Amino acid sequence: MSVPARNDEAELIVERLNGEAQGVARRDGFVWFVVGALPGERVRARVIKPGARSCVARVMEIVEPSDLRVVPPCPYYARCGGCAAQHLAYHASLDWKTGTVRDCLERIGGIKTLVKPALGMDDPWRYRNKGAFPVAGTADRPSIGCYAPRSHEVIDAPGGCMLQKPETNRLMDAARDWMTARRIEPYDEASHSGLVRRLVSRVNRDGSSMLTVVLRGTDARPPHADELVKRLREAEPGLCGVAVSPHPSRGNAVFGSECRELWGARSLTERLELSVGALVYDLSPRSFFQVNTAQAERLAEKALEYAGYANGSSAADIYCGAGTLTLALAKAGFDAVGIELLPDAVGDARRNAIANGMPGVRFECGDAAVLTPRLARERGGFDVIVMDPPRKGCDRAVLESAAMSRPSRMVYVSCDPATLARDAAILAGLGYRLAEASPIDQFCWTTSVETVALFVEG
């Protein structure tokens, strides 16, 4: 078997999609991962990244197209790295994400269980309530958009992103016009020069918005700041605040260490409409909140369903962030406590508890592996433990401390099927069986899959 080299071409029949939305094909015992190909298609592909046993290739010609292929509506899709599946019919993308969760659980975790069909959206566009756009280019032609795949090349997107709210796109275009008119230097990552590094928007369900300008250096006020605010307000009447985040260090962190108000409000209020009642959240620029409000509601409802009947039962919400699920549990009747390592997030959570008329809901700041057993002893155990870890999953010590509390149920909210599968295998060894998993399409057209999973004793 000859190993394909860069720029080699072959005609292939695609078998399936992998988790990165690449078509998987085999030829002479060699695996091809083909960007832009769909299952069942016959394609001519060219190698762009050779390897010893597999290669990454790109479609050069679709010889026999799939019935599931659609024309991507976004004019930037071919170059932008924000989406990966706009060429796949939406209902088929939900099947693909369901299969990705099932495959990871079986292949990585060695677990076969019920994976319910992914919950999608009626309209999977314009859903993002937050946008964080890198800025590059020159003072004459600034680029504001997303990175190209596997690079830090910024793809300029005049008119905006089809996943973002219209308010965000209008704000980005106004900021681009300001930079061009006043020759404001975009950030250059290689030389660590220029001024504007990122533009970060938030838009709530009622159409109110905020914009944060992330600047290289320590200045809290960009040049011609008044003109910027004027252009933004004219472009978006619902704008309620503009902030600046000085970010003098190298690196890819979105924000600097603080955000300072340039004009207007310092935060934005968002609302979730749940079956147990409405919850409001006060969001500062750096606050974490699910980027898809409609699907965040479905996620919270599924977590409450898996948590079961409350009636004063005790619940711990580990990795609680700004308290989204903690407050939902409390609203449902659980005696809930939130546990979070980041002090800023705990501050947001406590403010959100007060804003919702639940000042008695407790939030603890610290390592969950230490706090969970201590709080369990204080409360006589937990009936339910909810975990919503970052993409890397739970630390093993956290899983062990949760299992030591012997709750009857654990609800795990995952944003990465691979780490969910790894942690499911660990929990199985600690006496907790994965009973059911429900994928939720929180990030339509991307490779990201959110999953709510129920673990029970036995």
CATH number of the domain located at residue range(s) 9-64 in this protein: 2.40.50.140
Provide the pLDDT for residue 312: 80
Q: Which residues of the chain register pLDDT less than 50?
A: none
The answer to whether 4 and 10 are in contact (CB under 8 A) is yes
User: Residues 220-229: pLDDT tens digits?
Assistant: 899 999 999 9
Provide the pLDDT for residue 309: 79
Nearest C-alpha neighbor of 205 from the set 294, 327, 299:
294
Provide the pLDDT for residue 344: 85
Nearest C-alpha neighbor of 106 from the set 331, 424, 328, 379:
424
| Distant-in-sequence, close-in-space partners of 357: CB < 8 Å, separation ≥ 6 | none
Report helix angle 166-182 to 225-235, nearest 10: 150
CATH topology of domain 130-265: OB fold (Dihydrolipoamide Acetyltransferase, E2P) (2.40.50)
Nearest C-alpha neighbor of 4 from the set 26, 35, 37:
26
CATH number of the domain located at residue range(s) 106-120+292-457 in this protein: 3.40.50.150
Nearest C-alpha neighbor of 383 from the set 448, 288, 315:
315
Provide the pLDDT for residue 36: 95
Provide the pLDDT for residue 311: 78
The answer to whether 307 and 329 are in contact (CB under 8 A) is yes
Q: Say which residue the tokens 């290669």 belong to.
A: 55
Find the angle CA(194)-CA(199)-CA(204) to the nearest 5 degrees.
170
Q: Distance of alpha carbon 173 from its chain centroid, rounded? A: 24
Q: Which of 161, 259, 320, 415 is catalytic?
A: 415
Report helix angle 324-331 to 293-307, nearest 10: 50
Phi, psi of 210 (to 5 degrees): -140, 155
Provide the pLDDT for residue 219: 85
Distance CA 102, CA 107 (A): 9
The number of residues in the chain equals 458
Q: pTM above the 0.75 mark?
A: yes
Provide the pLDDT for residue 150: 87
**One fold for 9-64 and 130-265:** yes
Distance CA 454, CA 306 (A): 6
DSSP conformation letters of 311-349: TT-EEEEET-TTTHHHHHHHHTT-EEEEEES-HHHHHHH
The domain ranges of the chain are 9-64, 106-120+292-457, 130-265
Measured between alpha carbons, how far apart are the two ends of the chain, in Å? 48
Find the angle CA(104)-CA(109)-CA(112) to the nearest 5 degrees.
80
Which 3 state secondary structure label does DSSP give 85?
A: coil
Distance CA 75, CA 451 (A): 30
Cβ atoms within 10 Å of 150's Cβ, excluding its own: 10
User: Which residues are paired to 46 by β-bridges?
Assistant: 9, 58
DSSP conformation letters of 137-200: E-SSSEEEEEEPTTS--EEE-TT--TTB-HHHHHHHHHHHHHHHHHTPPBPBTTTTBSSEEEEE
444: annotated active-site residue = no
Provide the pLDDT for residue 1: 56
DSSP conformation letters of 252-280: --SS-S--EEEEE-S-EEEEEEETTEEEE
| The 130-137 sheet, strands edge to edge | 154-156, 142-147, 130-137, 196-203, 209-215, 239-246, 260-264
User: Residues 136-157: pLDDT tens digits?
Assistant: 999 999 999 999 998 999 999 9
